[in-house]
Amino acid sequence: MKSQRFVYLKVERVENQLILVDSAGKKFLVPELNEKGTSLYKRAVAAANNPTKYCFKARVSGNLTEGSVEFGRNPGENFNGAEPVTNFNRPNGGLEQYEMKVTPQAEVAEKPVEEDVLNFIHNEAGGLKPQMLFMHPLKWKYLIRNIIRGKNIMMTGPAGCGKTMAAKAAANSIEGYNMEIFNLGSTQDPRATLIGNTQFDTKQGTVFNPSPFVKAIQTPNTVIVLDEISRAHPEAHNILMTVLDAGQRYLRLDEAADSPVVKVA
């Protein structure tokens, strides 16, 4: 039988672990998908939370003797009608080495994919809201939900009403998340603040120093607060357009055609 070089799988969360499931229902526990803090882990979490939008693709990189198996997120529609894992044991054990062998006695009814997330939002998130934060419980849960799913959130209100406090409290309430704040209202040079500066060094020549914002968007599970965005310089809006667009999610470091592109984690 010809060895498989790629296969599409869906991601499920079972007992706090992310597992891959093929179209025949076989399950695979891949360690690198469960390494918290990595971009691959964040993509796997997103695929588990949005099974209709995302699936995962396992493919052979290189040849079947000395290559490796790589994993990446794909549109969920690719899983529809996908082939099951039948002969994906190369290279070095391939994907089949991670197959979960479950006896019939150990099988339990699968939970809906969204159950863990919904349980956290509805049963735990409410108790994490600071007492001094006067915010409707439903809006607080909505804020938590969108952070977990990596969505953009626009918070409006008069000065001092608690917008920044709410963002800080929400980021601190979710394990493994951190927060970075950038005040765009006081920024005179948005390109330096959002991209970085180029400097000349006598030993190294021209050196590019990326801004803290560039580092922040590359760090998984980071809540980025763009404070006072309504007062930001128009150039800041142009730079942030591709970063905030859900269909693009990248930052180009220069206007040249071959300039480096930073992907949002």
Q: How confident is the model at residue 114 (pLDDT cuts 50, 70, 90)?
A: low
Residue with tokens 């667009």: 245
CA–CA separation, 77 vs 206, rounded Å? Answer: 45
According to the model, what pLDDT value does residue 21 have? 94
Once rounded to an integer, what is the mean pLDDT over residues 63-78?
90
User: Would you state the pLDDT for residue 102?
Assistant: 61
Who wins on pLDDT, 174 or 213? 213
Residue type, 135: M
Domain end, chosen from 54, 86, 101, is at 101
In the chain, % of residues over pLDDT 70: 93
Instruction: Please indicate, yes or no, if residue 41 is contained in any of the structural domains.
Output: yes
pLDDT value for 77: 93
Residues 206-233: tens digit of each pLDDT: 777 889 999 999 998 899 999 999 899 9
Whether 105 shows a pLDDT value over 70: the answer reads no
Does a structural domain hold residue 135?
no
Q: Give the mean pLDDT of the chain.
A: 85
- Assign 70 a pLDDT band (cuts: 50, 70, 90): very high
167-174 long-range contacts, CB within 8 A, separation 24+: 167/143, 167/223, 167/225, 169/128, 169/129, 169/130, 169/133, 170/140, 170/143, 170/144, 170/223, 171/147, 171/223, 173/125, 173/128, 173/129, 173/144, 174/144, 174/147, 174/148
Q: Please check the confidence at residue 7 and state whether its pLDDT lies above 90.
A: yes
Mean pLDDT for the stretch of residues 48-63:
91
Q: What pLDDT, on a 0 to 100 scale, did the predictor assign at position 257?
A: 66
In a domain, 246, yes or no: yes
Q: Coil, helix or strand for 14?
A: strand
Q: Does residue 61 carry a pLDDT above 70?
A: yes
CB atoms within 10 A of CB 45: 21
Q: What is the DSSP letter of 5?
A: S
Last residue of a domain, one of 82, 101, 120: 101
Is residue 165 domain-resident?
no
User: What local confidence, expressed as pLDDT, does residue 240 receive?
Assistant: 92
Domain boundary residue among 67, 101, 135?
101
> What integer pLDDT is reported at residue 103 of this predicted model?
54
Helices 163-173 and 137-148 sit at what angle, rounded to 10 degrees? 60
Does residue 106 carry a pLDDT above 50? Answer: no
Specify the range with the lowest mean pLDDT, choosing from 17-26, 75-84, 114-123. 114-123
Query: Residue 167 — φ and ψ, nearest 5°?
Result: -65, -45
The three-state secondary structure class of 61 is strand
In the chain, the number of structural domains is: 2
Residue 89 phi, psi dihedral angles, 5° rounding: -110, 15
- The answer as to whether 96 is a domain residue is yes
Question: What mean pLDDT comes out for the span 38-55?
Answer: 89
Measured in residues, the chain has a length of 265
Residue 235 DSSP one-character state: H
Domain boundaries, position 81: 6-101
Spatial separation of the C-alpha atoms in residues 209 and 257, rounded to whole Å: 20
Query: Mean of the pLDDT values across residues 81-89?
Result: 92
Q: How confident is the model at residue 108 (pLDDT cuts 50, 70, 90)?
A: very low
The lowest-confidence range among 113-117, 122-126, 161-165 is 113-117
- Tell me whether residue 52 is in a domain: yes
**112-132: average pLDDT:** 72
Does residue 107 lie within any of the structural domains? no
Note whether residue 61 is domain-resident: yes
